[in-house]
Structure 1
Amino acid sequence: MAQGNCNCGSITVTLKTPPDSTILCYCANCRRAGGGPCSSNYMLDSNDIEVQDANGTLKSYKDSNTKSGNYITRQFCGNCGSPVQSLMPPPSTMVFLKAALFDHIPTPAYEAFVEDKESWINVTQKTA
């Protein structure tokens, strides 16, 4: 079992089995949402994630400014601002859970939107 949390601890996330790899996303929206050159994510089914929001601080933003034209719902802690997860539109149950919520982040296995990757980032992985 793995447990992660936002910076203020209001939101905790529990996974029965911690993933053994992550996906790096370089899209501009993930960079802006996370404040870095990329976002490190676990791609999981929502049924495999337990999100507890003790103080009711989980907020959602429907992001329709995407390259695909599809929207995703970005969820974050309204108290400390920590990104929590990005939800795909229904009927998909897939979630991009933010790996930074956890103390240990496994090695990336894939990269997404590599065309937006900054040239100074030297990470060589398979592309998604």
Structure 2
Amino acid sequence: MTNAQCACGALRLTFREPPQLTALCHCFACQRRTGAAFSANAFYAIDCVEISGTSTEFIRTADSGRKVRMHFCPACGSTVYWKADASPSIVGVAVGCFADPVFVPPAMSVFEQSKHEWVQLDETMEHFRGLPVGGNETG
């Protein structure tokens, strides 16, 4: 299984299981986090992830008022993973940190209410204007 790491390799994640979910997110927080029009995210059960290296934590408040804890490499600045208080048993990982062109494709696209008009996605994934009904904040 592929591992994830920051740009300089100092912060690494190793996984014992495949992701529980892969998703694209178009929310403004993810756009700002990535510097791109949307983020590509993989979500894992926290007990199957081993983290090595040091991270710096940035805590942001989600629209719900709950905290999302972003972990980035203090050397190169890459945001590698995050934990949301709304989903304490899940860790989100930036798909770009895998640098794997055959990584599992996204199953859904969320917060399309703020999707850039020029972004065109096919119908092989589920599409949501916000979060899926009953969904927790994950990014």
State the TM-score, normalized to the length of structure 2. 0.80
Partner-residue secondary structure (3-state), 1:29: helix
Question: Gaps (5+ residues) in structure 2?
Answer: 133-139
Can you list the C-alpha shifts for 1:33-75, whole angstroms capped at 9, x where unaligned?
111111111111111111110xx3x1101101x2222221111
**Which protein is richer in strand relative to its size?**
1
Instruction: Check the 8 A contact 2:82/2:93 in 1, yes or no.
Output: yes
% identity of equivalent residues: 26
Matched length: 124
Can you list the C-alpha shifts for 1:10-55, whole angstroms capped at 9, x where unaligned?
01111123338621111111111111111111111111111110xx
Partner-residue secondary structure (3-state), 1:67: coil
State the TM-score, normalized to the length of structure 1. 0.86
Instruction: Check the 8 A contact 1:20/1:107 in 2, yes or no.
Output: no
Equivalences for residues 2-17 of structure 1 within 5 A: 2-17=2-17
User: Are 1:111 and 2:109 matched, yes or no?
Assistant: yes
Equivalences for residues 26-105 of structure 1 within 5 A: 26-53=26-53, 56=54, 58-64=55-61, 66-89=62-85, 92-104=88-100, 105=103
Question: Gaps (5+ residues) in structure 1?
Answer: none
Instruction: Check the 8 A contact 1:2/1:16 in 2, yes or no.
Output: no
